[in-house]
Chain A
């Protein structure tokens, strides 16, 4: 049973560029959440997707956008990159309904903005 997978593992971009990160959820999961983890900090919630729609959003600017596909996989897009966007981006998947409150995380994508 494959867990949550993310690609790429590492990415280096320059300021002003755009980036797309990808996530495949754990088998049987239909909800995908994205988190940003700055160095030495706890993860911060970006947004959550369910049924191809953004269901919840954290305190992140509109430069951060996402998408969920019919197979439940998801993308995170960041436009106009800033140095402060350098972080580990984590994807987490979960099921739906009561008793499915556990989110399972992927290994993350390390984004460096120069």
Chain B
């Protein structure tokens, strides 16, 4: 079945540091890939997504590229801010059918703390 392996946390960085959170996946076919972010006490917010190989998703300075050859979707940001402190989840959904999207399979999450 589908699975997502995420970089173990927690991750602590200083403000303006470069961020990478690794994510690899196992899936059949051509899944869509997502990064969701969860702030303390809240639900999940979609951060970015990519739906086919070599697509780059980007939002709020974060980027991730769908690499089918390495089955990876690593999250990067060039200069993090204190407000980026949150838990980040990598997820995939199965190949889209004419009936809509499949269930999401999540990684275990990476807690990111940014120190001023």
Interface residues, chain A, with chain B CB atoms under 8 Å away: 4, 31, 33, 35, 40-45, 48, 50, 55-56, 58, 90, 92, 94-108
Interface residues, chain B, with chain A CB atoms under 8 Å away: 4, 6, 32, 34, 36, 42-46, 49, 51, 89, 91, 93, 96, 98-109
A98 near B96 (CB under 8 angstroms)? yes
How many angstroms between the C-alpha atoms of A98 and B43 in the bound complex?
Answer: 25
B106 near A101 (CB under 8 angstroms)? no
B100 near A41 (CB under 8 angstroms)? no
Chain A binding surface, main DSSP class: loop
Given the complex, which residues of B lie within 8 Å of A55, measured CB to CB?
99
Work out how many contacts link A and B, with CB atoms closer than 8 A.
76
How many angstroms between the C-alpha atoms of A46 and B103 in the bound complex?
Answer: 9
Given A97-B98, A101-B32, A101-B51, verify A90-B103 contact (CB < 8 Å).
Answer: no
How many angstroms between the C-alpha atoms of A40 and B87 in the bound complex?
Answer: 10
How far apart are B89's CB and chain A's nearest CB, in angstroms? 6
The residue in A33, A55, A98 that gathers the most chain B C-beta atoms within 10 A of its C-beta is A98
How far apart are A101's CB and chain B's nearest CB, in angstroms? 4
Given the complex, which residues of A lie within 8 Å of B101, measured CB to CB?
31, 94, 100-103
How many angstroms between the C-alpha atoms of A100 and B97 in the bound complex?
Answer: 10
How far apart are B30's CB and chain A's nearest CB, in angstroms? 11
Given the complex, which residues of B lie within 8 Å of A102, measured CB to CB?
34, 46, 49, 101
Given the complex, which residues of A lie within 8 Å of B51, measured CB to CB?
101
